[in-house]
């Protein structure tokens, strides 16, 4: 008898110290440590049920997602899993630099664990999520989250979401899927950028500073190191051959506005991932004027405001029928 369908939700996360590059080998281990915040307002809801054959749907459409197929093959090397129907819904643009694979794999492993009684704790789910997509390891946890070698490349919670309730404004400049997937881009950067060695060498220092900033709730220090990590990653991307060019005109316009706001005393800093969206991270209580200012920028389609969210968890309400 097949068991009942199980649904889990997970939130997307954004890295303030970025991951870009992998260690050699099969286990999807990052080449650098990273530190992220989990975003309450960007949610993936994933339902897993037994089926006659594997089928994966994202927002109702069947996808031939090789990342999910490869991940299921790894899971089946460890457990005897039946064929699965996976139905996943994002309430934000998919594959546009908003970390849909992060929330997607965190929700998937959480639902699969509960559906098949795998008995995984959060750390083990984080390791399995990482094998699907490294940033997904971090979405298993809420608040401020680290991912490093000391924890054997399972993510770990650093500070709870309500202990320092930063707010984030996401400025959406495009709903299109990104041109170069992250996995492909990282491999290309490692192979062709003359900046790659420096990127790897300098990551530990950024990571240590950011950890200190979070522990001390030092917004200015976190702002400085997060913007540095972001710009350094984009310098690495732009120095890749052919270049990884994720920004558009509205991205640059939004960055200029965040810089002006900060110069005028508003506690806000920016970060940008492998896509054209700008995330403005604000001290508690400051996202409203930042959202209003970014909403007026030419080329910005809309802005989302988010608090920090919790970790991946099972819920009663399934993903929409598909």
When the beta carbons of 34 and 287 are compared against ligand 2P0, the nearer one is 34
Exactly one of 103, 273, 282, 309 binds ligand 2P0 (CB under 6 A); which one?
A: 273
Q: How far is the CB of 263 from ligand 2P0 (least distance, A)?
A: 26
Residue whose CB is less far from ligand 2P0, 34 or 116: 34
Q: Give the residue carrying structure tokens 């996360």.
A: 13
Q: Would you put residue 41 in left (φ > 0), alpha (ψ -120 to 50) or beta?
A: alpha
* CB nearer to ligand 2P0: pick between 148 and 293: 148
Q: Can the peptide bond before residue 237 be classed as cis, meaning omega within 30 degrees of 0?
A: no
Structural contact between residues 21 and 199, judged by C-beta atoms closer than 8 angstroms: yes
Closest to 49 measured CA to CA, from 97, 100, 108: 108
CB of 80 to ligand 2P0, least distance (A): 26
With CB under 6 A as the contact rule, the residue among 123, 183, 239, 248 that binds ligand 2P0 is 183
Rounded to a whole number of angstroms, the minimum distance from the CB of residue 182 to ligand 2P0 is 3
Site residues for ligand 2P0, window 82-111 (CB under 6 A)? 101
Distance CA 25, CA 130 (A): 14
Handedness of CA 256, 257, 261, 264 (dihedral sign): positive
36 or 87: CB nearest ligand 2P0: 36
**Minimal distance in Å, beta carbon 205 to ligand 2P0?**
17
Please work out the total of residues on this chain that contact ligand 2P0, with binding judged by CB under 6 A: 14
Rounded Cα gap, residues 43 and 39, in angstroms: 8
Q: How far is CA 307 from CA 60, 81, 267, 275, 313, in A?
A: 27, 36, 15, 21, 18
Residues from 25 through 84 that contact ligand 2P0 (CB under 6 A): 28, 34
**190 lines the binding site for ligand 2P0 (CB under 6 A):** no
Q: Kindly indicate which of the ranges 18-26, 49-57, 113-121, 307-315 contains the residues binding ligand 2P0, using the contact rule CB under 6 A.
A: 18-26
Residue list 127-166, contact with ligand 2P0 (CB under 6 A)? 133-135
- Residue number with CB closer to ligand 2P0 (7 or 28): 28
Distance CA 61, CA 210 (A): 39
Smallest separation (angstroms) from ligand 2P0 to the CB of 30: 7
182 forms part of the interface with ligand 2P0 (CB under 6 A): yes
Q: How many CA atoms, within 13 angstroms, populate the side-chain half-sphere of residue 308? A: 24
Stretch of 15-23, 210-218, 277-285, 303-311 lying at the interface with ligand 2P0 (CB under 6 A): 15-23
Q: Among 6, 8, 9, 20, indicate the residue that binds ligand 2P0 (CB under 6 A).
A: 20
The three-state secondary structure class of 302 is strand
Torsion of CA 168, 144, 113, 24, to 10 degrees: 100
Say how many C-beta atoms besides its own lie within 10 A of residue 197's C-beta.
10
Q: How far apart are CA 187 and CA 192, in angstroms?
A: 9
Least CB distance to ligand 2P0 at residue 96 (A): 12
Binding site for ligand 2P0 (CB under 6 A): 15, 18-20, 28, 34, 101, 133-135, 182-183, 273-274
């Amino acid at each position: 008898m097949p068991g009942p369908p199980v649904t889990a939700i997970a939130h997307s996360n954004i890295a303030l110290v970025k991951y870009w590059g992998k260690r050699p080998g099969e286990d999807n281990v990052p080449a650098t440590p990273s530190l992220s915040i989990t975003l309450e307002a960007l949610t993936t809801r994933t339902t897993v049920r037994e089926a006659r054959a594997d089928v994966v749907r994202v927002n109702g459409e069947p996808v031939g997602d090789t990342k999910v197929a490869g991940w299921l093959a790894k899971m089946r090397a460890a457990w005897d899993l039946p064929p699965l129907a996976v139905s996943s819904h994002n309430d934000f643009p998919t594959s546009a630099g908003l970390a849909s694979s992060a929330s997607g794999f965190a929700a998937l492993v959480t639902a699969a664990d509960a559906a098949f009684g795998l008995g995984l704790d959060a750390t083990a789910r984080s390791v399995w999520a990482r094998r699907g997509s490294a940033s997904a390891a971090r979405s298993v946890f809420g608040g401020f989250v680290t991912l490093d070698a000391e924890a054997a490349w399972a993510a770990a919670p650093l500070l709870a979401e309500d202990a320092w309730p930063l707010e984030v404004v996401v400025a959406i400049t495009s709903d299109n899927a990104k041109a170069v997937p992250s996995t492909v881009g990282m491999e290309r950067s490692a192979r062709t950028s003359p900046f790659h060695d420096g990127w790897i060498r300098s990551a530990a220092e950024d990571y240590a500073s950011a950890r200190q900033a979070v522990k001390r709730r030092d917004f200015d220090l976190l702002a400085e190191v997060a913007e540095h990590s972001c710009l350094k990653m984009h310098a690495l991307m732009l120095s890749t051959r052919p270049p990884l060019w994720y920004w558009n005109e509205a991205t640059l316009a939004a960055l200029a506005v965040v810089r002006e706001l900060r110069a005028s005393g508003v506690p806000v800093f920016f970060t940008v991932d492998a896509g054209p969206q700008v995330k403005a991270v604000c001290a508690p209580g400051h996202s409203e004027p930042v959202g209003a200012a970014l909403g007026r920028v030419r080329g910005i389609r809309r802005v989302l405001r988010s608090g920090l969210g919790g970790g991946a968890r099972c819920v009663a309400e399934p993903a929409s029928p598909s």
